[in-house]
A and B are shown apart, each in its own frame.
Chain A
Amino acid sequence: MTKTKVTVGLGSCGIAAGAGKVYEKIRSLKEAENLSFELGKTSCVGMCYREPLVEVTDGNGTYLYGEIDPDKAVEIINKHVNNENPVSDYIVVTDLYDTPDRKYLDGQVKIALRNCGMIDPEKISDYEERGGYGGVKKLAGMSQEDVIKEVMDSGLRGRGGGGFPTGLKWKFTYNNNSSQKYIICNADEGDPGAFMDRSLLEGDPHSVLEGMIIAGYAVGASTGVIYCRAEYPLALKRLAIAIRQAEEKGYLGGDIMGIKGFSFNITVKEGAGAFVCGEETALLASVEGKRGMPRKRPPFPAESGLWKQPTNINNVETFANVPWIITNGASSYAKYGTEKSKGTKVFALAGKINHGGLVEVPMGITIKDVIFKLGGGIPGEKKFKAVQLGGPSGGCIPEYLSSTMVDYESVTATGAIMGSGGMVVMDETTCMVDVAKFFLDFTKNESCGKCTFCRIGTKRMLEILNRITEGEGEQEDMQKLEELAYQIKDSSLCGLGQTAPNPVLTTLKYFHDEYEAHINQKKCPSLTCKKLLTYEVIRENCTGCTVCAKNCPVDAIDGERKEVHFIRQEDCIRCGLCYTKCKFEAIRLS
Chain B
Amino acid sequence: MRVNRIPTKSPELPPSSEKVDLSLLDPLIEKYKNKAGITIPVLQGAQDIYGYIPREVFLKLSDELGLELSELYGVATFYAQFRLSPVGKHIIKVCHGTACHVQDAGTITDALKEALKVEDGETTGDGIFTLESVACLGCCSLAPVMMIGDETYGKLTGNEAVKVIKEIRLKEKN
Contacts and interface: CB of A to CB of B under 8 A. Distances in A.
A and B pair up = yes
Interface of A: 12-13, 15-17, 48-49, 51, 190-195, 198, 230-232, 269-275, 286-292, 307, 348, 350-352, 356-357, 388, 391, 422, 424, 426, 430, 435, 438-439, 442, 445-446, 448, 580
Contacts of A289: 36-41, 75
Nearest to A392: B98
A16 B98 contact: no
B140 A348 contact: yes
Contacts of B38: 289
Contact of A192 (B81, B98, B158): B98
Interface string B1-35: 11000000000000000000000000000000000
Contacts of A356: 99, 140-141
B75 to A, nearest CB: 6
Contact of A438 (B80, B98, B137, B145): B98
A17 B97 contact: no
Contacts of B145: 16
B37 A274 contact: no
Interface stretch (B55-63, B100-108, B164-172): B100-108
Nearest to A277: B79
16 contacts: A15-B152, A16-B137, A16-B147, A17-B142, A48-B139, A192-B1, A193-B97, A193-B98, A231-B134, A269-B40, A272-B75, A273-B81, A292-B79, A307-B36, A350-B143, A356-B99
Contacts of A352: 102-103
Contact of B44 (A193, A231, A270, A446): A270
B116 interface: no
Nearest to A426: B102
Contacts of A388: 98
Contacts of B50: none
Contacts of B107: 580
Interface in B128-174: 134-143, 145, 147, 152, 154, 158-159
Contacts of B40: 269-270, 272, 286, 289
Contact of B135 (A12, A286, A442): A442
Among B41, B81, B103, B158, residue most surrounded by chain A Cβ atoms (within 10 Å): B81
Contacts of A15: 152
A287 B36 CA distance: 10
Given A192-B1, A274-B80, A292-B78, A13 B102 contact: no
A446 B80 CA distance: 9
Among A12, A269, A445, residue most surrounded by chain B Cβ atoms (within 10 Å): A445
A351 B103 contact: yes
A288 B74 contact: no
Given A12-B139, A424-B102, A442-B135, A290 B80 contact: no
